[in-house]
Chains A and B, each alone.
Chain A
Amino acid sequence: QSRVVTGKVTASEDGTALPGVSVSLKGTSRGVTTTADGSYKISIDNGAALQFSFVGYKPQTISVGSQSTINVVLVADAAELSEVVVTALGLTRTKNSLPYAAQQVKGDELTRVRTGNAFSALSGRVAGLQITQGNAIGGSTNVVIRGNKSLTGNNQALFVVDGVPVDNTNKNTANQQTGRGGYDYGNAAADINPDDIESMTVLKGAAATALYGSRASNGVIMITSKKAKKGLGLTINAGLTVGTIDKSTFATYQNQYGAGYSDPYQKDGFLYFDANGDGTKDLVINTAEDASYGTKFNPALMVYQWDSFDPAGPNYLKAKPYTAALNTPAKFYETAISNNVNVQLDGATDQGTFKLGYTRNDERGTLPNSNVSKNIMNLAGSYNISKKVTASAAANFSVIEGKGRYGSGYSGLNVNQNFRQWYQTNVDILDQKEAYFRNQQNVTWNWSDPSSAAGLKPIYTDNYYWTRYQNYQNDTRSRLFGNAMVNYKAADFLNFMGRVTVDTYNEFQEERIAVGSQGVPAYSRFDRTFQELNYDLMGNFDKEILTGLNLKALAGLNLRKSYIRSISAATNGGLIVPGLYSIANSRGTVSAPTENYNPREVFGVFGGLTFTYKDFLTLDGTIRQDKSSTLPVANNAYLYYAGSASWLFSHHIEDLPWLTSGKLRMNYATVGNDAPWGSIKNVYDKPDPFGSTILFSAPSTQNNPFLKPEQTQSKEIGLEMAFLQNRLGFDFTYYHTNTLDQILPASVSSATGFSSTYVNAGNIENKGFEVSLYASPIKTADFSWNVNVNWTKNSSLVLSLYNDSKNLQLATFQGGVSLNASVGQPYGILQGKTWKYVNGQKLVKSNGRYDVTATTTNNIGNVNPDWIGGINNSFKYKNVTLNFLIDMKRGGSVFSLDQYYGQATGVYPESVVVNDKGNPSRSPVAEGGGVIMPGVLADGSVNTIRVENDYGTFGYAQNPAAAFVYDASYIKLREANIVYSLPSSIVRKLGGVKGVDLSVFGRNLWIIQKYVPYADPEENLSSGNLQGNQSGAYPTTRSIGFNIKLLF
Chain B
Amino acid sequence: CTEDISQLNIETKRPAAVPAPTLFSNAVKTISGSLASPSVNTNVFRFTVSHWAMSTYQDEAQYDFATRNIPQGWWTSMYRDVIADLRESAKLINADASLLPAEKANKLAIIDIMEVYTYSILVNTFGNIPYSESLNPAILFPKYDDAKTVSTDLINRLNADITKINTSAAGFASAEDLIYKGSVAKWLKFANTLRMKIGMVQADVDANVAKSAVEASDAGAISSAADNGLFTYMAASPNQNPLYVDIVLGGRSDYIAAKDLMDKLLGWNDPRTSAFFTPNNAGVYAGGIVGKGNTYVDFSRAGTKIIDASAPCVLADYVETEFLRAEAKERGFNVAGTAESHYNNAIRASIIYWGGSAADADAYLAQASVAYTTAAGDWKQKIGTQKWIALYNRPYEGWVELRRLDQPKISAPVGAKSGFPTRLTYAANEQTLNGTNYTAAASAIGGDVVTTKLYWDKF
| Chains A and B are bound partners | yes
Using a CB–CB distance below 8 Å, which chain A residues touch chain B?
A: 261-263, 265-266, 271, 273, 286, 288-289, 448-449, 451-452, 455, 457-459, 518-520, 572-574, 587-589, 591, 595-597, 599-601, 603, 627-630, 633, 636, 677-678, 680-688, 690-698, 700, 702, 746-755, 757, 802-807, 809, 812, 815-816, 820, 822, 833, 854-857, 951, 957, 961
**What CA separation (Å) do A750 and B433 show in the bound complex?**
10
Contacts of B15 in A (CB 8 A): 683-684, 686, 696
B22 touching A696, Cβ below 8 Å: yes
User: 7 extra interchain contacts, Cβ-Cβ under 8 A, other than A697-B23, A754-B137, A855-B431?
Assistant: A288-B56, A681-B10, A697-B85, A698-B88, A751-B142, A803-B141, A833-B67
Contacts of A820 in B (CB 8 A): 432
A-B contact pairs, 16 of them (CB 8 A): A600-B8, A603-B5, A636-B5, A636-B6, A682-B16, A685-B14, A686-B15, A690-B239, A694-B25, A748-B141, A749-B140, A749-B429, A751-B135, A754-B84, A755-B80, A854-B417
- B366 interface residue (CB < 8 Å to A): no
Q: Which residue, of B81, B297, B430, has the highest number of chain A Cβ atoms within 10 A?
A: B297
A566 and chain B: residue at smallest CB distance: B13
**What CA separation (Å) do A685 and B85 show in the bound complex?**
11
B236 and chain A: residue at smallest CB distance: A588
Contacts of A961 in B (CB 8 A): 67
**What CA separation (Å) do A271 and B298 show in the bound complex?**
10
- B136 interface residue (CB < 8 Å to A): yes
**What CA separation (Å) do A595 and B298 show in the bound complex?**
48
Contacts of B336 in A (CB 8 A): none
A694 touching B22, Cβ below 8 Å: yes
List which B88-105 residues lie within 8 A (CB) of chain A.
Answer: 88
B295 touching A749, Cβ below 8 Å: no
A271 touching B66, Cβ below 8 Å: no
**What CA separation (Å) do A857 and B15 show in the bound complex?**
37
The main secondary structure of chain A at its interface with chain B is loop
A449 touching B141, Cβ below 8 Å: no
A459 touching B18, Cβ below 8 Å: no
Distance in angstroms from A583 CB to nearest chain B CB is: 14
Question: Which listed residue, B129, B428, B435, touches A855 by the CB 8 Å rule?
Answer: B428
Distance in angstroms from B189 CB to nearest chain A CB is: 22
List which B5-31 residues lie within 8 A (CB) of chain A.
Answer: 5-6, 8-16, 18-19, 22-23, 25-26, 29-30
Distance in angstroms from A43 CB to nearest chain B CB is: 55
- B237 interface residue (CB < 8 Å to A): yes
Q: Which residue, of B19, B87, B140, B450, has the highest number of chain A Cβ atoms within 10 A?
A: B140
- B69 interface residue (CB < 8 Å to A): yes
**What CA separation (Å) do A697 and B2 show in the bound complex?**
32
A812 and chain B: residue at smallest CB distance: B69
Q: Taking A573-B249, A805-B432, A856-B67 as contacts, is the C-beta distance between A690 and B234 under 8 angstroms?
A: yes
Contacts of B420 in A (CB 8 A): none
- B250 interface residue (CB < 8 Å to A): yes
Question: Which listed residue, A685, A804, A957, touches B59 by the CB 8 Å rule?
Answer: A957
B2 touching A633, Cβ below 8 Å: yes
Ranked nearest first, the 5 interchain pairs of A and B with the lowest CB-CB distance are: A573-B237, A588-B237, A753-B84, A807-B432, A751-B130
**What CA separation (Å) do A855 and B281 show in the bound complex?**
40
Contacts of A599 in B (CB 8 A): 8
B437 and chain A: residue at smallest CB distance: A749
**What CA separation (Å) do A685 and B27 show in the bound complex?**
13
**What CA separation (Å) do A747 and B141 show in the bound complex?**
10
List which B40-56 residues lie within 8 A (CB) of chain A.
Answer: 56
Contacts of A265 in B (CB 8 A): 295
Distance in angstroms from A523 CB to nearest chain B CB is: 14
B5 touching A629, Cβ below 8 Å: yes
A588 and chain B: residue at smallest CB distance: B237
Question: Which listed residue, B11, B26, B430, touches A695 by the CB 8 Å rule?
Answer: B26
Q: Which residue, of A520, A685, A702, A752, has the highest number of chain B Cβ atoms within 10 A?
A: A752
**What CA separation (Å) do A815 and B64 show in the bound complex?**
11
B239 touching A449, Cβ below 8 Å: no
Contacts of B337 in A (CB 8 A): none
Contacts of A459 in B (CB 8 A): 251, 253
Distance in angstroms from B53 CB to nearest chain A CB is: 13
Contacts of A680 in B (CB 8 A): 9
Q: Taking A266-B298, A751-B142, A804-B435 as contacts, is the C-beta distance between A588 and B238 under 8 angstroms?
A: yes
Contact indicator per residue, chain B 260-300, by CB within 8 Å of chain A (1) or not (0) = 00000000000000000000010000000000010111100
Question: Which listed residue, A457, A630, A751, A855, touches B134 by the CB 8 Å rule?
Answer: A751
B76 touching A271, Cβ below 8 Å: no
B144 and chain A: residue at smallest CB distance: A751
A589 touching B253, Cβ below 8 Å: no
Question: Which listed residue, B1, B58, B240, B433, touches A747 by the CB 8 Å rule?
Answer: B433
Distance in angstroms from B76 CB to nearest chain A CB is: 4
- B79 interface residue (CB < 8 Å to A): yes
Contacts of A685 in B (CB 8 A): 14
Question: Which listed residue, B25, B56, B253, touches A261 by the CB 8 Å rule?
Answer: B56
B9 touching A630, Cβ below 8 Å: yes
A286 touching B295, Cβ below 8 Å: yes
Contact indicator per residue, chain B 210-250, by CB within 8 Å of chain A (1) or not (0) = 00000000000000000000000010111110000000011
**What CA separation (Å) do A471 and B129 show in the bound complex?**
46
A749 touching B434, Cβ below 8 Å: yes
A753 touching B83, Cβ below 8 Å: yes
B5 touching A700, Cβ below 8 Å: no
**What CA separation (Å) do A682 and B236 show in the bound complex?**
32
Contacts of B85 in A (CB 8 A): 697-698
List which B137-159 residues lie within 8 A (CB) of chain A.
Answer: 137, 139-142
Contacts of B84 in A (CB 8 A): 698, 753-754
A750 touching B237, Cβ below 8 Å: no
B5 touching A753, Cβ below 8 Å: no
Question: Which listed residue, A288, A520, A754, touches B249 by the CB 8 Å rule?
Answer: A520
Contacts of B140 in A (CB 8 A): 746, 748-749, 752, 757, 802-803
Contacts of B236 in A (CB 8 A): 573, 588-589
Question: Which listed residue, A457, A684, A693, touches B178 by the CB 8 Å rule?
Answer: A693
**What CA separation (Å) do A690 and B136 show in the bound complex?**
29
**What CA separation (Å) do A515 and B15 show in the bound complex?**
36
Contacts of A589 in B (CB 8 A): 236-238
Contacts of A802 in B (CB 8 A): 140
Question: Which listed residue, A262, A693, A700, A748, touches B175 by the CB 8 Å rule?
Answer: A693
- B68 interface residue (CB < 8 Å to A): yes
- B436 interface residue (CB < 8 Å to A): yes
- B364 interface residue (CB < 8 Å to A): no
Contacts of B26 in A (CB 8 A): 687, 695-697
- B176 interface residue (CB < 8 Å to A): yes
- B418 interface residue (CB < 8 Å to A): yes
Question: Which listed residue, A683, A691, A698, A957, touches B23 by the CB 8 Å rule?
Answer: A698
Contacts of A809 in B (CB 8 A): 429, 432
A857 touching B432, Cβ below 8 Å: yes
Contacts of A803 in B (CB 8 A): 140-141
Contacts of A856 in B (CB 8 A): 66-67, 69, 428
Contacts of B253 in A (CB 8 A): 288, 448-449, 459
A752 touching B251, Cβ below 8 Å: no
- B170 interface residue (CB < 8 Å to A): no
A266 touching B295, Cβ below 8 Å: yes
Contact indicator per residue, chain B 65-80, by CB within 8 Å of chain A (1) or not (0) = 0111100000110011
Contacts of B176 in A (CB 8 A): 693
Contacts of A286 in B (CB 8 A): 295
Question: Which listed residue, B11, B281, B427, touches A452 by the CB 8 Å rule?
Answer: B281
B9 touching A677, Cβ below 8 Å: yes
Question: Which listed residue, A262, A629, A686, A805, touches B14 by the CB 8 Å rule?
Answer: A686
Q: Taking A288-B253, A747-B433 as contacts, is the C-beta distance between A691 and B239 under 8 angstroms?
A: yes
